[in-house]
Amino acid sequence: MVDEGLAGKLRLLDERLRSLGSVLVAFSGGADSAFVLAAAARSLGSEHVAAATAVSPSLPAHELDAAAGFARTVGVTHHTPSTAELDRPGYRANAGDRCYFCKAELLDVLRPLAGRLGFAHVATGTNTDDARAGFRPGIRAAAERDAVTPLLDAGLTKVDVRRASRAWGLSTWDKPAAACLSSRIAFGVEVTSHRLARVGRAEVALRSAIDRAGASVRDLRVRDLGDRARVEVDADLVPWLADRPDVLAAVEGFGDVELDPRGFRSGSMNELLAEPDRYR
């Protein structure tokens, strides 16, 4: 069940989606894009909707598998086009506007794909919280390429998405945030396929080590600061992990590994923009 306020937003979402006719959803596998995909299938019918998950070194392998599984549950075709973010100098340079080049690459691949498949629009999972978050160069890149934002248009927040997803029985309703692997690399440190793979391996290894030690973790990040790694986990797990250097040792491939005492914080790499030289 949803309250009347959320029900009203869902009616607006339905109206907005119906007005689009057909959509190819830029589907990362996260809660927001999953909800757009499910809502579009409800409003338009699965034959007028498809999902597209970009495959590149910045996508964790398990996220692709999960995205394919979710697309099957809502009955839509799942496409996996390749993107080449690393071919864009602005992306590799990894300045504060890296996400602009990432989203530009994504939309420059998905728009022609949508045209070939006969879909009128490309939709993203941008919500109202994203639009209010301040510096979001990726949103600008998508807007410049005419991507539609049904959640934003209907006034849905992140909390709204999770509440509605739970009411609809979607498995993604409580899925933790899962940004691309490049978001783990400190601004000013060049993004390379080696760094992306190293971070991906480190996160898988650490999560497995925590599980084997009898603990559990929801949010986990291994941040690449150049020659060293900074580990972020759920705040309540920090004291436990601080006392388990044997578990932290699962993070390999870096000169040094440190545990962030503040715990996981979404977007924490933005804090380093004020002092980038410290992490080069």
**Taking residues 163-185, what's their average pLDDT?**
93
**Taking residues 37-46, what's their average pLDDT?**
98
Ramachandran sector of residue 115 (left: φ over 0; alpha: ψ -120 to 50; beta: rest): alpha
pLDDT in tens, 65-98: 999 999 999 999 999 999 999 999 999 999 989 9
Look-up: residue for tokens 């690449």?
A: 224
pLDDT score at 134: 65
**Taking residues 105-128, what's their average pLDDT?**
98
**Taking residues 260-266, what's their average pLDDT?**
91
Domain count, the chain: 2
Same domain (yes/no): 28, 157: yes
CA 45: distance to chain centroid? Answer: 25
CA distance 29 to 147: 18
Q: Which domain holds residue 106?
A: 4-167
Q: Where are the beta strands (DSSP E) in 196-239?
A: 220-224, 228-233
**Taking residues 205-211, what's their average pLDDT?**
98
pLDDT surpassing 90 at residue 61: no
pLDDT surpassing 50 at residue 211: yes
**Taking residues 120-148, what's their average pLDDT?**
92
For residues 74 and 164, is the Cβ–Cβ distance under 8 A?
Answer: no
CA distance 248 to 148: 42
| In a domain? residue 119 | yes
276 pLDDT band, cuts 50/70/90, is very low
| In a domain? residue 175 | no
pTM of the predicted protein model: 0.90
> Rounded to the nearest 5°, which phi and psi values hold at 53?
-110, 120
pLDDT score at 265: 86
CATH code, domain carrying 246: 3.30.300
Same domain (yes/no): 106, 145: yes
pLDDT surpassing 60 at residue 278: no
1 pLDDT band, cuts 50/70/90, is confident
Same domain (yes/no): 16, 149: yes
For residues 81 and 205, is the Cβ–Cβ distance under 8 A?
Answer: no
